[in-house]
Amino acid sequence: MNLAGQRVNYAAVLDQQFQAAEGVIRAGANREVLTDMKLTGDNISFSLTVTLEGIGLTRYEFTGKVRGERIEGSAQVILPEGDRLELPWRASRTAASDYFAPTGVQMP
């Protein structure tokens, strides 16, 4: 996804048990918990608040439709200055997630 002139890569891990779901996401080098996750039939929605390097505190509100091994939808993105963007997003089931890849950030 391109935000504020820079490319941000995302990787997530979701767990679903019937209509209950939870997940975590990596945006750039930062990891956060997905909040307000709802799964009703084939509709899914969740939120994310994350600080992105060079951008600042950014809020996302994702909605989408689950279609087999894929999810397609749109994301409302609220940037630190209050600007709002609506961007398409999609996800697909994979055997492994880049969520676990090294971030390059040193821990104190």
- The predicted-structure confidence for 20-42, as pLDDT tens digits, reads as follows 889 999 988 889 999 999 999 99
- Residue 35 · residue 49 · CB < 8 Å: yes
Q: Enter the tokens of residue 11.
A: 């990787």
Q: Enter the tokens of residue 48.
A: 């994310």
Instruction: Report the percentage of the chain scoring pLDDT > 70.
Output: 94
What is the band of 14 on the pLDDT scale with cuts at 50, 70, 90? confident
Using left for φ > 0, alpha for ψ between -120 and 50, and beta otherwise, residue 61 falls in: beta
- Residue 47 · residue 24 · CB < 8 Å: no
The per-residue pLDDT of the chain, averaged, comes to 87
- The predicted-structure confidence for 82-100, as pLDDT tens digits, reads as follows 999 999 999 888 877 777 7
What is the band of 70 on the pLDDT scale with cuts at 50, 70, 90? very high
- Residue 36 · residue 46 · CB < 8 Å: yes
Which pTM does this prediction carry?
Answer: 0.82
Residue/partner pairs of 29-36 with CB below 8 Å, 24 or more apart: 29/53, 29/103, 29/104, 29/105, 30/103, 31/99, 31/103
